[in-house]
Amino acid sequence: MTPRARWGLGGTSAVVATVGLASGWLGAALTALAALGTPLFALMAGGTALVWWLDGSPVNRLAPRVLDEQFSGSPVLVTIPLFTLMGYLLAESKAPRRLVEASRKLLGWMPGGLALVCLGASAFFTTLTGGSGVTIVAIGGLLLPTLRQQGWSERFSFGLVTTGGSLGLLFPPSLPILVYALVAGLDFELAFRAGLLPGVLVVLVLGAWAAFVGERERIPRERFVFGDAVAALGLIKWELGLPALILGGLASGLTSLDESAAVGVLYTLVVVVRVHRDLGWRDVPRVLQSALALAGAVVLILMMANALMNLVIDRQVPAMVLEAMTRAGLSERWQFLVALNLFLLVIGMVMDGVSALIVAVPLVLPLAARFGLSPFHLAMMVILNLELAFCMPPLGLNLFISSFRFRLPVTTLYRAVLPFVGLLTLCLALVSAAPWLSTALVQPAIDAARAEAIDAGRPPREAWALECVQADGLDPKPCSQEERARYAPADAGAAEDEDDALLQELLK
């Protein structure tokens, strides 16, 4: 056995033993299975069913959260495979090369122009594909040699392309936002809207750093030619038409989410096969097989996560965690936000993005409800933590992908990404401290829901569900002390009247 294998075996054994002491034989067994590479959905399903069985509870109690309307009837279940297929088609085509070439002509004249090209192209491509690994391989692989040839330092270049792989997760139609919306029961269109300001903040902060480094290292700029800029827009006109088609259909109400995704896939297929001819019809089954294998795994994990959520709620795990936090002195909202971000960061480092969302969101939602957080504020913090965790040493996913793609020791990338990690941490701190960054663009929808309810003479439940995380999504409660005093007694009486009327109807 090699020294590395011995260290790995010893470290894994130590982790398993520690978990076993903390949570018993079941926790140790699940940790050992995870270390051996057992699929996440199998761990979730097997562990949850085993806990129910050992407790003497009927296993069929796991099913309701999987089969209820919020999950089984959600358009996101159809949308995830469609967006995944769209991303695979774009990654297999020459779209990354066209995006890079067009971005150089449009942004190359600015301070730090080529670095801005990398940031812009990475964010745009990640938005469409939903995967940081695809962006690093496609965009980073194209731009890294050019960055080095232009004079950018090796450390900055590697840090830039590694970090660029996680940009774009906050812009529509982001797959992580879709998954979060499904798990948390949020309106996906409003979640897309909430991500715009935090996403722009991240790009602006990293862009300012790139411009500063470009000036400091005296990187030459490219000359701006108006005709070339117009030609660049023509070069990527078909790619630019894709988000316009999807978002335009959603904004106008002409298409629903799943319909927009289907139209987007058809559009992408025509563009890459018939317009640009990057792929042939014979390549489509291969791409389809790869995309649907990934999408099927995501949907299966989502189903098992809903079963796990049922167990977490039934065992009152959030209440126990909250009690432990209170005993530890974490009773203020800012303290909870610090603990929450640390927890999300660790989860994001040890899991891929979708799995991290599925595991973390059911655990943090009940706690966030106790502290009165906005659901959109919480969503943006969770997604931003993913962006940060992907680049965070020592276990960030982007580090290992870049290490494999560029054939570098992963430790070499640690120093390269540290400035970018610091900037992303700054963005996360700003978004955490300023909830309005996440809620400003959804506030009109909240106001409209409240006004509609008041005009109809009923409590503004829809507005409450948009204003603060609810302990029970089926029975929203007021978010402010003023509205609690105004609506709670009457609302409770109305609910009792409704229950009495329903009981009388059933007894007839």
Q: How far does CA 319 lie from the centroid of its chain? A: 26
In the structure, what pLDDT confidence band is assigned to residue 488 with cuts at 50, 70 and 90? low
The sign of the torsion formed by the CA atoms of 209, 211, 212, 216 equals positive
For the cut 70, the answer to whether the pLDDT of residue 4 exceeds it is no
User: Across residues 263-273, what is the average pLDDT?
Assistant: 89
Which residues touch 175 (CB under 8 Å, ≥6 apart)?
Answer: 80, 83, 84, 87, 130, 131, 354
pLDDT for position 492: 46
In whole angstroms, what is the distance from residue 455 CA to residue 447 CA?
A: 12
Instruction: Identify the DSSP state of 407.
Output: T
Evaluate the omega torsion of the peptide bond into residue 393 and state whether it is cis, within 30 degrees of 0.
no
Question: In this predicted structure, which of 97-106, 319-328, 330-339, 470-479 has the lowest mean pLDDT?
Answer: 319-328
In whole angstroms, what is the distance from residue 479 CA to residue 370 CA?
A: 11
In whole angstroms, what is the distance from residue 100 CA to residue 413 CA?
A: 23
Which residues touch 234 (CB under 8 Å, ≥6 apart)?
Answer: none
Residue reference for tokens 């940031």: 119
In the structure, what pLDDT confidence band is assigned to residue 206 with cuts at 50, 70 and 90? very high
Model pLDDT for residues 277-305, shown as the tens digit of each residue: 888 888 888 888 877 776 776 666 666 66
Q: Give the amino acid at 449.
A: A
In the structure, what pLDDT confidence band is assigned to residue 499 with cuts at 50, 70 and 90? very low
Question: In this predicted structure, which of 33-37, 163-167, 475-479 has the lowest mean pLDDT?
Answer: 33-37
For the cut 70, the answer to whether the pLDDT of residue 5 exceeds it is no
Residue reference for tokens 């309307």: 69
Residue in 204, 202, 118, 201 with CA at minimum distance from that of residue 161: 118
How many C-beta atoms lie closer than 10 Å to residue 148's C-beta?
13
- Radius of gyration for the chain, computed over Cα atoms and rounded to the nearest angstrom: 24
Model pLDDT for residues 345-356, shown as the tens digit of each residue: 877 776 666 767
How many C-beta atoms lie closer than 10 Å to residue 132's C-beta?
29
pLDDT for position 318: 56
pLDDT for position 25: 59
Model pLDDT for residues 93-146, shown as the tens digit of each residue: 888 778 777 877 887 788 878 788 888 878 877 776 665 566 776 677 777 877
For the cut 90, the answer to whether the pLDDT of residue 202 exceeds it is yes
For the cut 80, the answer to whether the pLDDT of residue 191 exceeds it is yes
pLDDT for position 437: 94
Q: Give the amino acid at 375.
A: P
In whole angstroms, what is the distance from residue 134 CA to residue 294 CA?
A: 13
In the structure, what pLDDT confidence band is assigned to residue 502 with cuts at 50, 70 and 90? very low
Burial class (CB in 10 A: 0-12, 13-18, 19+), 140: buried
DSSP count for the chain of H helices, then E strands: 28, 0
User: Across residues 246-261, what is the average pLDDT?
Assistant: 79
Mean pLDDT for the chain overall: 77
In whole angstroms, what is the distance from residue 374 CA to residue 301 CA?
A: 26
User: Across residues 21-34, what is the average pLDDT?
Assistant: 60
pLDDT for position 426: 94
In the structure, what pLDDT confidence band is assigned to residue 376 with cuts at 50, 70 and 90? very high
User: Across residues 180-189, what is the average pLDDT?
Assistant: 84
More confident residue, 410 or 276: 276
339 to 234, 331, 438: CA distances (angstroms): 48, 11, 20
Q: Give the amino acid at 358.
A: I
pLDDT for position 302: 63
For the cut 60, the answer to whether the pLDDT of residue 3 exceeds it is no
Q: Which two tokens stand for residue 433?
A: 């401290």
pTM over 0.85, yes/no? no
Are the CB atoms for 397 and 352 separated by under 8 Å? yes
Are the CB atoms for 121 and 178 separated by under 8 Å? no
Are the CB atoms for 116 and 223 separated by under 8 Å? no
Percentage of residues in the chain having pLDDT higher than 70: 72
Residue in 87, 195, 98 with CA at minimum distance from that of residue 133: 87
DSSP string, 50-63: HHHHHTT--GGGGS
Q: Which two tokens stand for residue 66?
A: 């999987």
Q: Which two tokens stand for residue 50?
A: 């085993």
